A and B are shown apart, each in its own frame.
Chain A
Amino acid sequence: MNWFERLKSGIQTVVRRGMPENLYVKCARCHQMALRKHLESNAGICPNCGHHFRVHYKQFLDLILDTDTFEEVASNVRSTDALGFEDRIKYGDRIKEYGKRTGMQAAVCVGVGRIDGRAVGVGIHEFGFIGGSLGAAEGERISRLIDRCITDRLPLILICRSGGARMQESALALMQLAKINAKLTQLADARLPFISVLTDPTTAGVSASYALLGDVNIAEPNALIGFTGERITGSSVGEEELEALRQAQRAEKVLEHGFVDLVVPRTEMKQKLSHLLSLLGETAGV
Chain B
Amino acid sequence: MPNGKPYLDFEKPLEEIELKIEEMTAHAESEHLDMSAEIAVLNQRLEKVRQEIYTDLSAWQKVQIARHPQRPYTMDYIDLIVSDFIELHGDRLYRDDPAIIAGLGRIDGRPVVVIGQQKGRNTKENLHRNFGMAHPEGYRKALRLMKMAEKFRRPVVCLVDTPGAYPGIGSEERSVAEAIARNLFDMAQLRVPIVIAIIGEGASGGALGIGVGDTILMMEHAWYSVINPDSCSLILWRDREKKEVAAENMKISASDLVELGVVDRIVPEPLGGAHKDPNLAATNLKQAIVSAIEDLNRRSIDELVPSRIDKFARMGKWEE
Contacts and interface: CB of A to CB of B under 8 A. Distances in A.
Given A171-B224, A233-B235, A245 B172 contact: yes
B232 interface: yes
A195 interface: no
A259 B181 contact: no
B2 interface: no
B4 to A, nearest CB: 28
B212 A178 contact: yes
Interface string B169-180: 101111111101
Interface residues of B, number: 55
B225 A174 contact: yes
B152 interface: no
B212 A232 contact: no
A136 B317 contact: yes
B106 interface: no
* B contacts with A: majority SS: helix
Nearest to B309: A182
A195 B173 CA distance: 22
Interface in B184-216: 184-185, 188-189, 204-205, 208-209, 211-212
B231 interface: yes
B179 to A, nearest CB: 9
Contact of A185 (B185, B235, B320): B185
Interface stretch (A27-35, A84-92, A275-283): A84-92
B320 A171 contact: no
Nearest to B236: A87
Interface stretch (B21-29, B249-257, B272-280): B249-257
A198 B68 CA distance: 40
B293 to A, nearest CB: 21
Contacts of A175: 208, 262, 312, 315-316
B13 interface: no
B181 A211 contact: yes
Contacts of B172: 226-228, 245, 248-249
Given A83-B250, A248-B172, A167 B227 contact: yes
A264 interface: no
Interface string B151-183: 000000000000001011101111111101110
A183 B188 CA distance: 9
12 contacts: A171-B252, A172-B260, A174-B208, A175-B262, A176-B315, A204-B205, A208-B208, A211-B181, A212-B177, A227-B165, A227-B180, A257-B173
Interface of A: 76-80, 82-88, 106, 135-137, 139-140, 143, 165-179, 181-186, 204-205, 207-213, 226-228, 231-234, 241, 244-245, 248-249, 253-254, 257, 259
Given A77-B320, A213-B181, 9 more contacts: A78-B319, A85-B249, A176-B315, A208-B180, A226-B177, A227-B171, A227-B205, A228-B171, A244-B169
Interface of B: 165, 167-169, 171-178, 180-182, 184-185, 188-189, 204-205, 208-209, 211-212, 224-227, 230-232, 234-238, 246, 249-252, 257, 260, 262, 308-309, 312-313, 315-320
